[in-house]
Amino acid sequence: MDAITLMVTAATVAVGLFYWFVWVMGSAEQKGKRAVDLKMGTISRDKVEDNYNQYWSFFRKPKEINNSNSDEKKVPAFVDTFYNLVTDIYEWGWGQSFHFSPSFPGISHRDSTRLHEEHVADLIGAKKGMKIIDVGCGVGGPMRAIAAHSTANVVGITINEYQVGRAKAHNKKAGLDSTCDVVCGNFLEMPFENNTFDGAYSIEATCHAPKLEDVYREIYRVMKPGALYVSYEWVTTDKYHDDNPEHVEVIQGIERGDALPGLRRQDEIAELATKAGFEVVEEKDLASPPAGAWWTRLKMGRLAYWRNHLLVMVLTFFGVAPKGTVEVHEMLFDTAAHLSRGGETGIFTPMHMILCRKPIT
């Protein structure tokens, strides 16, 4: 083989490997977002690193946020920054539904995600002609599953403008834009009249509110009397002890890496819902047996995370992804470890389900 043939062969193999690494290995869980398309929401490329540093210094001590009135008011803006930073990485590495699901043998992640979402529709009795609100809708994975399953109309609200654009584009592509709509807004002050909705739900979203009773009160306000509301809450369980340093480290790690101003205890949720005016119909940790370990999906992804990290480093080095992307990815890598540990020790669950009714009078 002469030198030219050798060089051409080597170049072809290198291009092939690069293509395989970036386009095939780096493709999304559910196709639609690729590593080369990673943006940082609405943040301009040169501000990503700054935004990440600001986010990090604010959420470094999550418990202190609730002790300061002025910091508490800043939470929605920092949560918005967080979702600018992570939305594309979530879509790329997890899919269009930004939540966990109960794990059952023989059921794929995709199916367990869909079933967990359809369960919401069944719990609140969503039906054709009803108007349902999705509080903290992300890019709308659950909204589409619920609208398709129930044929109800769903309106989602998210604090993050970039997610609104993503959700609307996905709705259109799925042919669900006539039943699904999305608005940008704060779930603590929603742009809806009193008694608007026939049902409401929130999936792993109200954990971002500094005070759970505030968002519950706002949801109560926009619901019609007699309507049902279901929420999947992130909480610490009765196995959590704040005098155990490992427990504290794990929970703070989860709060820091997920923009949470302090996790609530599982046994507080019903009381807070009642305080907001709701009648509690049912409460259950959907992660409890017979469901298996929800965190195995996170653990199984470890090899993929390393590949992703390498990819993010290469893309940032060549200027395809903005500076700061590596740090954001590292933060997520770290939070995945804390979430897994929270699951293994049993001190944390992301699936505490509470079903409530707004009383008729």
Give the binding site for ligand L6FYQM2W (CB under 6 A): 89-90, 93-94, 98-99, 204, 207, 258, 301, 305, 308, 329, 332-333, 335-336, 339
Residue 308 CB, nearest approach to ligand L6FYQM2W (Å): 3
Please give the size of the binding site for ligand SAM, defined by CB under 6 A. 23
Helix (H, G, I), strand (E, B) or coil at 223: strand
Enumerate the β-bridge partners of residue 356.
229, 280
Backbone φ/ψ region at 61: left (φ over 0), alpha (ψ -120 to 50), beta: beta
Determine which residue in the list 101, 160, 179, 340 makes contact with ligand SAM, applying CB under 6 A: 160
Find the residue with minimal CB distance to ligand L6FYQM2W.
93
Q: What is the DSSP string of 196-221?
A: -EEEEEEES-GGGSSSHHHHHHHHHH
Nearer to ligand L6FYQM2W, 197 or 348 (CB): 348
Q: Is residue 210 close enough to count as binding ligand SAM by CB under 6 A?
A: no
Angle at the Cα of 357 (from 353 to 361), degrees rounded to 5? 160
Residue 173: how many other CB atoms lie within 10 Å: 11
122, 202 in Cβ contact below 8 A?
Answer: no
Q: Is residue 208 close enough to count as binding ligand SAM by CB under 6 A?
A: yes
Q: Is residue 157 close enough to count as binding ligand SAM by CB under 6 A?
A: yes
Positions in 244-303 near ligand SAM (CB under 6 A) = none
Positions in 88-147 near ligand SAM (CB under 6 A) = 97-99, 136-138, 141-142
124, 229 in Cβ contact below 8 A?
Answer: yes
d(CA 156, CA 181): 6
Nearer to ligand SAM, 140 or 322 (CB): 140
Nearer to ligand L6FYQM2W, 152 or 295 (CB): 295
Q: Is residue 203 close enough to count as binding ligand SAM by CB under 6 A?
A: yes
Rg of the Cα atoms in the chain: 21
Q: Which does 336 bind (CB under 5 to 8 A by kind): ligand SAM, ligand L6FYQM2W, none?
A: ligand L6FYQM2W
Give backbone dihedrals phi and psi of 323, rounded to 5 degrees, phi first.
-60, 135
d(CA 361, CA 358): 8
Residue 11 CB, nearest approach to ligand SAM (Å): 43
Nearer to ligand L6FYQM2W, 98 or 348 (CB): 98
Helix (H, G, I), strand (E, B) or coil at 225: strand
Q: Which does 59 bind (CB under 5 to 8 A by kind): ligand L6FYQM2W, ligand SAM, none?
A: none
Q: Which does 158 bind (CB under 5 to 8 A by kind): ligand SAM, ligand L6FYQM2W, none?
A: ligand SAM
* Closest C-alpha to 241, from 360, 346, 107, 93: 346
**The pair of three-digit structure tokens given for residue 170, joined into one six-digit string:** 């996905």
Q: Which does 76 bind (CB under 5 to 8 A by kind): ligand L6FYQM2W, ligand SAM, none?
A: ligand SAM
Place of tokens 């009765």: 238
d(CA 20, CA 68): 50
Nearer to ligand SAM, 121 or 315 (CB): 121
Work out whether the CA dihedral 322, 326, 327, 330 comes out positive or negative.
positive
Residue 324 CB, nearest approach to ligand L6FYQM2W (Å): 15
Q: Which amino acid is at 249?
A: E
Q: Is residue 41 close enough to count as binding ligand SAM by CB under 6 A?
A: no
* Closest C-alpha to 98, from 222, 230, 207: 207
Q: Is residue 158 close enough to count as binding ligand SAM by CB under 6 A?
A: yes
Residues that bind ligand SAM (CB under 6 A): 76, 79, 83, 97-99, 136-138, 141-142, 157-160, 163, 186-188, 203-205, 208
